Amino acid sequence: MSINKVVANADEAIKDIPDGATLMLGGFGLCGLPENCITALVKKGTTNLTCISNNAGVDDFGIGLMLHKRQLKKMIASYVGENAEFERQLLSGELEVDLIPQGTLATRCLIAGYGIPFVPVLAGVGTEVAEGKETVTRNGKEYLIEDAFDADFAIVKAWKGDTMGNLIYKDTARNFNPLMAMAGKITIAEVEELVQPGELDPNMIHTPGIYVHRIFEGKDYEKRIEQRTVRK
């Protein structure tokens, strides 16, 4: 008997996320963001959250909406340069921030999905990133020991998915979403198009349904472009 993973909408998908939870949020810049779930979290008013994401969105879109509502206690990211409210909260001490190299961020997501507790990395050795962390030396090189992320929920956005939770991402949205989909204790997926089992080409599936616990078809995607560059 298959498990019913389909929920009605974003409000239903995130309804049990408690205050103080640790969330992974997929996306790269403003591409591939779980827009519906972010809107639902803002509406629900969940607070004291720790958010793991590549970046913090912009002031009026993405994670920036949650920052304006003071819903985040801590932000773990690799790039935050387009968000003035993030900068204000960081400098005022309102927001705890852990900035880490992008490759390390991706790897810590990956090993969480694989069930590996830690990984040695070269990035950050001899810098502020290394403060308070273990190191090991192999073949004359020093490595930092970085822990796998421990996220209560992973919230991702895909192009297509089926009711069993199998997901296909499109173009740049295939960034942190597949890594994070494997890594949360509970993974929530919103998709642009939800289909029945067998309608997706098995060779094209990026995230197997075994990783996904809840799925719904989203709506009203803005898909904002952060920096538009065009030829004359």
| Domains annotated on the chain, with CATH | 10-118+148-217 (3.40.1080.10)
| Buried/exposed 92-120: b ≥16 CB within 10 Å, e otherwise | eeebeeeebbeebbbbbbbbbbeeeeebe
pLDDT in tens, the chain (232 residues): 467 899 999 999 999 999 999 999 999 888 899 999 999 999 999 999 999 999 888 888 999 999 999 999 999 999 887 788 888 999 999 999 999 899 999 999 999 999 999 999 999 999 988 989 999 999 999 999 999 999 999 999 999 999 999 999 999 889 899 999 999 999 999 999 999 999 999 999 999 999 999 999 999 888 777 777 888 8
- CA dist 26 and 82 (Å) reads 17
Query: Which has the closest alpha carbon to 155: 4, 2, 46, 3?
Result: 46
Phi, psi (deg, nearest 5) at residue 180: -70, -30
